[in-house]
Structure 1
Amino acid sequence: MDSSCTECIKGTIHKGQPLGKEEMIHGLNTYVIGNRTNPRGIIVMYSDIFSLPLPNNKLIADAYAKSGEWLVYFPDFFKGDPVPLRNVNTLVPVDAAKQSKFSLYTGLLAFMPPFLLWMTRHKEGPTNKVCMDFLQALRRATPKEQKIGMVGFCWGGKYAIRAGLESNMIEKAGQKVPLVDAVVALHPSHLTLPDDVEHLVVPVSYGWGVEDSAVKFEQKSKVEQIHAAAKSKGRKVPEMEHQVYRPGRHGFAVRGNPDNPEERACLENSQKQVLSWFDRWI
């Protein structure tokens, strides 16, 4: 297992009781929380590889919905097959600083074969289709005046960004419209450059970690260079924002340790980044 895969299954489980409910939305089991009556807009979450079983993800959805402005959908884009939490005490310790290297690496070795099999079941093509099919159905069912924002973490960051591509626009009421109106991507992994970012039609806010060993910090400058080159050729590029997190270890927006002041700041500031961006664009 390479270092990027290893980092994807490390972190901390957070305490708290999720307040939303799971129900079927556009063919996917979806955690739903927030204003169902007259929301200002819809926020769609695409999580890391742990999906619905990881409490952190639902608690993040709850935080987005807390203001009463938003309706938050957190679909199980893995269709009941997220990376399991069977080895949670090894892979997602309460305090990673207290975990011995022996415990960590023996746990990872035991986890490697099933994780690699999981990867073969979630290849890019089918994974992309599940996401875009959901978003197409949501866009068609959503009133014209209501906007949709999408936030993706780690694995989900790639597909959140792709939701804003020109190639994924659809026809609705005689007009070409994007699947979403704004995107936030936090420590987005497995990006294919330039394809995933070159022809975006919606504003995107990125969050990069300085010490992220799965998503190299150099990705930030590569994305910026792609957009600068597009502008130099006269192409219109929507507004792009890049925020930097220190220490910003992988998973900083989801699985950071809230008892560590630096990691807690990353958790809190990434939440602010998402809500500020959507407050501006949706």
Structure 2
Amino acid sequence: MSCSNCFKGAVHEGTPRGIETKFNGRDTYVVEPATNLDSPSSSPPAAKGIVVILSDAFGWKFTNLRTLADEIARKGQFRVYLPDFFDGRVAPLWLLDVMPKLELPGFWATLWKPYYGIRAAAALGPFLISNRPAVSMPKILPFMESLRNEAKQQRLSLGVAGYCWGGKPAVNLAHTELVDCAFTAHPSALALPGEIERIRVPFSLAIGDMDFVMGMKEVEQTKGILKAKSDDVPSQVVVYPGGGHGFAVRGHPDDEKEKMQGIQAEDQAIEWFTTYLKAT
């Protein structure tokens, strides 16, 4: 896997409308279904289900993810949770500026590459060590178990959406009964074929055909595995032409194609949750 692709992209503008709270001892951003904008005095609608977003490397305070959570809550009428499973040890946003400089051509750019490389390594090393699967899953599972119990009490279904770093744990949650369905966009570090073979709940994947973390060979392998079990487990794989790693979260808003593909991936997730998150 080319880790550098997990730390590229753009920061989006926006003002998140949710709240910061604690759930199961973890800092969590929570946003409820939106009030009808045509009738702002009306009461907020009841949630149709619960969605947990597992973040990319930039964590639960990343504006891109918070505004994405807002849109999933607004469009789908879901309650959305965005927890901090990094315990504050996130990738710094300045990596979004530094990583592209490591690939710039030219004499002067080359002279600066050792400096940028050292800066990147100093940030990436601690992040990757602190948030490896053996460390992160023991944090994620108790949170999901607690939320699953709460969802059952409220007669709500529970889904998970994982982006980049969050894709792997989202896929692993799809092996369990802790979630009713799962969505992931451009997941990183998947162990194929096993982690796809063990999926047991409705599963949706958004991936770009220019993703160098999960290449088209792996995408076709994933399609084949999911197709073989389609009688028992509904699934979909949507390939976005020209989409690179991170397009669903960190696409450049001034690039019309990247912007539209981000919206399309957002709608893909919402449609999947609308179909498979039903009242229990």
Same fold (TM over 0.5): yes
Shift of 1:52: 2.1
Mapped to 2, the partners of 1:131 and 1:22 lie a distance apart of: 18
How far apart, CA to CA, are the structure 2 residues paired with 1:7 and 1:208?
A: 14
Q: Does 1:266 align with 2:252?
A: no
Q: Where does structure 1 lack aligned partners over 5 or more consecutive residues?
A: 94-98, 169-177
Classify the secondary structure of the residue corresponding to 2:247. Answer: coil
Stretch of structure 1 that moved more, 68-77 or 11-20: 68-77
Percent sequence identity over matched residues?
30
Say yes or no: does 1:257 pair with 2:252.
yes
2:140 corresponds to which of 120, 131, 142: 131
> Any conservation in 1 of the 2:183–2:205 contact (CA below 8 Å)?
yes
Give how far 1:127 is off. Answer: 1.2
Provide the C-alpha distance between the structure 2 equivalents of 1:108 and 1:57, rounded to a whole number of angstroms: 27
What is the distance in 1 between the residues matched to 2:198 and 2:96?
Answer: 39
Is 2:216 the partner of 1:197? no
Q: What are the Cα deviations for residues 238-272 of structure 1, in whole angstroms up to 9, with x where unaligned?
A: 01100011211110000001111211121110011
Distance (whole Å) between structure 2 residues aligned to residue 198 and residue 266 of structure 1: 28
In 2, are the aligned partners of 1:227 and 1:237 still within 8 Å (CA)? no
Which residue is equivalent to 1:116? 125
Per the alignment, do residues 68 and 155 of structure 1 end up closer, same or farther by CA in structure 2, a change over 3 Å counting? Answer: closer
**Structure 2 unmatched ranges of 5 or more:** 34-43
CA RMSD of aligned residues (A): 2.3
TM-score normalised over the length of structure 1: 0.85
Q: CA deviation at 1:114?
A: 2.8
Residue identity opposite 2:178 in structure 1? L
Measured in 1, the distance between the counterparts of 2:212 and 2:248 equals: 15
Query: How far did 1:229 drift?
Result: 5.0
| Counterpart residue identity of residue 69, structure 1 | Q
Aligned to 1:216: 215
* Aligned position for 1:275: 270
State the AA in 2 paired with 1:117. P
The residue that corresponds to 2:185 in the other structure is 186
C-alpha deviation, 1:117, in angstroms: 2.7
Secondary structure of 1:142 counterpart: helix
Which residue of structure 1 lines up, in the alignment, with residue 85 of structure 2? 77
Question: Greater share of helix residues, 1 or 2?
Answer: 2
TM-score if structure 2 supplies the norm length?
0.85
SS, match of residue 250 in structure 2: coil
Match of 1:24 in 2: 22
Residue identity matched to 2:256: P
SS at match of 1:207: strand
- Give the CA deviation at 1:135: 0.7
- Regions of 4+ moved over 4 Å: 103-106, 228-231
Of the three residues 151, 156, 175, the one matched with 1:142 is 151
The DSSP-based 3-state class of the residue aligned with 1:266 is helix
